[in-house]
Amino acid sequence: MKRGLICTVAAVSFAAAMLGTGAAAASADENELSFACKAAYLMDEASGVQLYAKNETERLPIASMCKIMTLLLAFEAEERGELSFTDEITVSERAAGMGGSQVFLGAGLTYTADALLKSIAVCSANDSCVAIAERVAGSEAAFCERMNTRAKELGAENTLFANCTGLPKDPQYSCAKDVAVMLRALIGHEKYHEYSHVWLEDFAHPDGRTTQMTNTNKLIRSYDGCDGGKTGFTNEAGFCLAAAAHKGDMRVISVAIGASDSKTRFSAVSSLFDYAFDNFESTVLLRAGEALEEPVAVRGSATKSIHAVPDRTLAYLRRRGTEENYTVSYEWRDILAPVSAGEAIGEAVLYRDGTEVDRISLLAHESAERYTWWEAYREGARSWN
């Protein structure tokens, strides 16, 4: 790989170590942030940097926040072509019989996957969760196995799912940090945001009934910039909330588990949002899906160069008042045709004072076909001349 220095930027020093995905940044003073909940966590969405933590890896019941993973698996199944939002799903007796929060699906009736997923995101419908799980994996048990596998892939080591709804069932647990990691993966799906902003909407049944859905995440209306999240409550879990909010280029994820009442969970998450936006700011260097300005050369193709796009956003946090030196460089592969759009062709690396702290993949924005025989002959003749 070839390495070339691209830019130097000013950033902030954190009171604790390294910036980068999963690395810990400054923790708030316990006297500054104190919540009546069992665990809490605050994360910068772009970098994955921890901004605040309280009992963040303690294994606790999380109630309906486990539906974050249910939604994530459904969106990923759609991306792989295993599920379509327009699919017609016939509801089983088991799905229709789920208790707790629901939209009262009718057994034997058919609903679109889009409608079911929206009801999960908006009003935490347990019956829709099971219907989706059965459609994607054949059974809730098989779907639950996928949930646990995906959790491990995301690095959620203190998470174990026993169902797709979060209804009490042992053993089942997660932790504040793992919930934030899962929500970070979910909010990367654009379709999710079509659902997460819905406040009040009627759910239409094919038999003519309607069920009114109200968003369980009250911060959608009460906190400026909140654009997603998931509530949870059982007697075992207490009142829980995971939510995301943005201001400018900065988006953060906040989690509260085991709050004493509903008001406290919303207050705790709002306070964490305020702490993040008051004390930090984020600068985006490369934005996911946006092509880099300078193209890169391709060998063996009539297409001489292609553009690259980051697979995720590369950003750094800045804590007000202190500066450090960050650099970004590109490392390109030897790009030889054929190249398919979406293929990895290089990496962008973020350094802090010469030490690598983050690395993202750069993908081909367009395809480049291999020379035809005639093109290769013509190119060879041109080079000879």
Among candidates 141, 142, 150, 138, which has minimal Cα distance to 71? 150
Catalytic residue (one of 92, 124, 128, 254): 124
For 238, counting Cβ atoms within 10 Å of its Cβ (0-12 exposed, 13-18 middle, 19+ buried), the class is buried
Any idea which residue has 């190119």 for tokens?
A: 379
**C-beta of residue 201 within 8 angstroms of C-beta of residue 213:** yes
Longest alpha-carbon distance in the chain:
81
The SS3 of residue 164 is: coil
DSSP 114: H
**C-beta of residue 272 within 8 angstroms of C-beta of residue 33:** yes
DSSP 185: H
Among candidates 257, 237, 245, which has minimal Cα distance to 56? 257
Catalytic residue (one of 38, 54, 67, 218): 67
The span from the CA of 39 to the CA of 57, in Å, is 8
Is residue 124 part of the annotated active site? The answer reads yes
Backbone φ, ψ for residue 254 (5° rounding): -125, 140
**C-beta of residue 30 within 8 angstroms of C-beta of residue 38:** no
Is residue 230 part of the annotated active site? The answer reads no
Catalytic residue (one of 47, 54, 64, 174): 64
The span from the CA of 196 to the CA of 309, in Å, is 27
Helix (H) or strand (E) holding 212: strand 210-214
- Residue partners of 286: CB distance under 8 A and separation at least 6: 292, 310, 313, 314, 328, 348, 360
Is residue 152 part of the annotated active site? The answer reads no
**C-beta of residue 340 within 8 angstroms of C-beta of residue 365:** no
The span from the CA of 262 to the CA of 240, in Å, is 8
DSSP 313: -
What the block records as the tokens of 232 is 């949870």
The span from the CA of 107 to the CA of 84, in Å, is 21
Residue length, the chain? 385
Which residues belong to the active site?
64, 67, 124
